[in-house]
Amino acid sequence: MSEHHEVASKEKYGMVIDLDKCTGCGACTVACLSENNHYVREDESDKLRSVAWMKVYKVTNGEPFPNTKVAFIPRPCMHCDHHTPCVSVCPVMATDYNPLTGIVSQIYTRCIGCRYCVGACPYHARYFNWWDPVWPEGMHKLLNPDMSPRMRGVVEKCSFCNHRLQKAKDKAYVEGRRDLRDGEYVTACAEDCPTKAITFGNMKDPESAVAKLIKSPGAFRLLEKLGTQPKVYYLSNESWIRALGDNALGRKRTARPA
Amino acid sequence: MSEEHVPTGGREGEHKQAGGGLGMLAAGFVVAIVVGWLLYPAIVMSSKPQPINFNHKAHGAEGAGLACDGCHTFREDGSFAGIPKLDNCIQCHESAQGESPDEAKLIEQYVTPNKEIPWLSYSYQPLCVFFSHAAHVKMAQLECTTCHEDMSKSSSSPPVKVYRISGYSKNTMSMEACEDCHAEKGTSNACFVCHK
């Protein structure tokens, strides 16, 4: 599915999340929910059924009390660059890899809800919509017109706020440019993060902030051994966090949703 | 009735039969056309009149000399404003310019009470579609008439036809049309180029 990619494109969007800066506040999740027209169920206490494209996991080093360390791992869609698992299994092409931007799409009106992709995704980044979206009275006015709402019976996931890319491009076109400047297109979570732990930008632009951060020594990706080449990088100086990133065996560890 | 079934054997009778068959065929054809062109569209599509019978011809090259982008403008953020607001109309029509009843209606019902005109869109796209006018008009340099009807020749606003079940208007561009043109021009057909 993926050797398709090397086309003459100057863009490939990626994200860098500095786990040493992340406080686990969940502002990225809230920004994402609000930006992408998520509805809220009457009872959201069962987090296993909650739809959160940007989910914050809490991890510990598994050591007993005075040595316990805790970190938070925000997890959007990884937009895998190689053998994108969800794209490989989708029977109806409701999801594709855009070779121009590196963004993996999800087309809700095309999805038949078979959930192969949910099973295929190694990062649990895909969610099935079990209920028709219902917003409390008056909340329709807060919906984002740039993002389509999803209906019951389809799979949804983080789109790297692709609609923001579309808008940024429109602005550039009207100004007579084709290329975007660094920072013109950022996701809602990156914009909202109070500690600026999330950086977003064009990885192919050597001057962009993400391109520089990716080269830092503490950079790693989740489950790199699978070879999916995610475009979401994490930074940490803590070796136990980096080891968790590849789900290393032989360590005591716990990971559960925060 | 029974007379028709009696074989006459003569040439005259054969002519009569053939003539009757042709007549039936023509009648069937007319019925099919009436049903297909008039009845069926009326069943599946609702027809809503525009609030004002807008005369594009009088505003365009043959009239006031405005180009399409005189009223259908881009905003600074790159989005396309589409149907103009009342402010656009007021620039010229604060008071009556002529004697047309439509203009009188505009001033009486909308300009004087400063109320936006509830125009109906002919080319409304579904919620999952992102159409970039900037990419097509500013970058690809396409003429408006490549996709839209040439309104500069139309002196009245036809009613807006909307499919009763799907809610799409008759003029909503199909995905096929977008894909064909993109394939022809070598533009990407990846999902997220046009979907949101």
Q: Where are the domains of chain B?
A: 1-48
Please give the mean pLDDT across all residues of chain A.
90
Handedness of CA B184, B177, A165, A55 (dihedral sign): negative
For residue A49, give the H/E element and its range: none
Helix or strand (DSSP H, E) at A235: strand A232-235
- The minimal CB distance from A170 to the residues B128, B134, B192 is found for B134
Which of A96, A170, A178 is nearest residue B79 as measured by Cβ atoms? Answer: A170
Q: What is the pLDDT of residue A229?
A: 93
Each residue's pLDDT tens digit, A56-81? 999 998 889 999 999 999 999 999 99
A211 contacts A205 by C-beta, under 8 angstroms? yes
Residue ranges in chain B modelled with pLDDT below 70: 1-18
Give pLDDT, residue A111: 96
- Determine the residue of chain A that is closest to B74 in CA distance: A174
pLDDT bucket at A6, cuts 50 / 70 / 90: low
Q: Which of A4-13, A22-31, A243-252, B169-178 has the lowest mean pLDDT?
A: A243-252
pLDDT in tens, A130-173: 888 888 888 888 899 999 989 999 999 999 999 999 999 999 99
Contacting residues of B for A146, CB less than 8 Å apart: 130, 196
The predicted complex's ipTM stands at 0.84
* Residue B182 CB coordination number (10 Å): 15
Q: Answer whether A173 sits within 8 Å of B132, measured CB to CB.
A: yes
Which residues in chain B touch residue A175, judged by CB atoms under 8 angstroms apart? 78
Write down the pLDDT at residue A209: 95
Q: Model-level pTM? A: 0.85
- For residue A9, give both structure tokens: 């494109």
Question: What topology does CATH give the domain A13-257?
Answer: Alpha-Beta Plaits (3.30.70)
Q: What is the mean pLDDT of residues A42-52?
A: 84
> For chain B, how big is the Rg over CA atoms in Å?
25
What residue segments make up the domains of chain A, in order of their start? Answer: 13-257
Q: Check residue B98 and give its pLDDT.
A: 83
Find the residue in A nearest to B132 (Cα).
A170
- Chain B residues whose C-beta is within 8 A of a chain A C-beta are 74, 76-79, 126-128, 130, 132, 134-135, 138-139, 188, 190-193, 195-196
Q: Which residues of A touch B (CB under 8 A)?
A: 95-101, 103, 105, 107-110, 146-149, 159, 162-163, 166-167, 169-176, 178
**pLDDT for A136:** 87
